[in-house]
Amino acid sequence: MSCIDVYAGETARKLIAEHGFTPNLFKGMIAASGGPKWFVLYGLDKVLLSDFFASKTIPSYNIGTSSGAWRTACMAIKQPGEALNRLVEGYANTTYTDKPSVSEISDKARTLLSSMLGETGIDDIVNNRLIKTHTIVNRCKGLTASTNRFLQLVGLLPAAALNRIDRATLKLFFERITISNDALETHFALDDGFGDTLVSYTQQNAFDVLMATGAIPLILEGVKDIEGAPHGMYRDGGIIDYHFDLDFTKHIGTQNADENQLMIYPHFYPHCSPGWFDKRIAGRKGDEKRFSNVVLISPSRSFVDTLPYQKIPDRTDFEKMDDTTRMAYWHEVIERSHELGEAFKKLLDSDDVNGAIKPIFR
């Protein structure tokens, strides 16, 4: 039994049947929020970098939030595999005091990001003409912008409550801002009412952008007044776009892009919770029609059942495990993640790729 499951929307299944599972069929990659959940995808990311996307002859348009944005940033750095290695090792080996403050957690995040970027990472991301990096951050409104944790919580509670009634109410509390290294020419379909402001990546704002997209409310410090963006306090891009529910069938890459191109989505789960507040709302899932041209690859349930604790890592491991136990567990998952990459390569070499693909979100 395979350790990966592959799902595809209707358009994706049709195009793969016609043209095969080839790199140039894919316009780019989607990378979701999820903190250490992404450790289970590390081996798959490495194969996508070194084997699959390495042979592409057309630009890639990648989009991510939070830890997913850091992964897509690694892909734009000149030696992406090494950047990804620095990220996974730095994150997995991070430790905190017993009751870490927001300041301590934020300082550790800045150190991790600096290590991941290395000496040339910012320049590489800003100037890369083949890897078009799109990073989402959220501009806070009202009390959600407060640096006082109590007031911030007071602002977040009604946002969560109203979101249970209607996801569209999030726009009362947050505005999506998208930063791209090709913002004047390229964009995704951001016309869903949550904000479609595009800002260019620059040497001056890149570090702040990457810090802001992972700035979990109440946990990390927000980033104020990102250079080139509207005035305000910025926090986690996953608040609105946790696992995404954008219409990926529209406006992929350049406005005149071929619609018959797909997005690949290495994901922790076979389903998507659109926003951060949607995780525990039954039935609040991604729209199959919006993902018609998406191929989603996730670890199979049978694979996850073989991992320690029969689950993939998550942020609560910091609270539930001592450092030695947690790091041993995380490193085992990271090592085992290479099995997903090998399974993906095996799938590409098989004679029946189509037979292995399941309908997305069914």
Task: For residue 32, give the nearest of 85, 82, 80, 72 by alpha carbon.
Answer: 72
- At 232-291, the pLDDT tens digits run 999 999 999 999 999 998 755 554 445 568 999 999 999 999 999 999 898 888 888 999
How far apart CA 144 and CA 162 sit, in angstroms, is 14
Instruction: Give the per-residue pLDDT at 282.
Output: 85
Reduce the DSSP state of residue 344 to 3 states and report it. helix
Tell me the pLDDT band of 5, cut-offs 50, 70 and 90: very high
The pLDDT of residue 255 is 47
| Torsion on CA atoms 138, 136, 183, 55, rounded to nearest 10 | 180
CB 237 within 8 A of CB 138: yes
Closest Cα partner for 30 from 242, 317, 307?
242
Domains belonging to the chain, first-starting first, are 4-359 (3.40.1090)
Distance CA 254, CA 48 (A): 23
pLDDT exceeds 70 at position 42: yes
Mean pLDDT score, 113-139: 96
- % of the chain with per-residue pLDDT over 70: 96
Residues facing residue 177 across a β-bridge: 137, 197
Q: Which pLDDT score is estimated for 183?
A: 73
pLDDT, tens only, 132-158: 999 999 999 999 999 999 999 999 999
Helix (H, G, I), strand (E, B) or coil at 30: strand
Is residue 57 pLDDT above 60, yes or no? yes
Q: What is the pLDDT of residues 151-203, one digit of tens each?
A: 999 999 999 999 999 999 999 999 999 999 987 665 688 889 999 999 999 99
Q: What pLDDT does residue 153 have?
A: 97
pLDDT score at 252: 55
Q: What is the mean pLDDT of residues 59-64?
A: 92
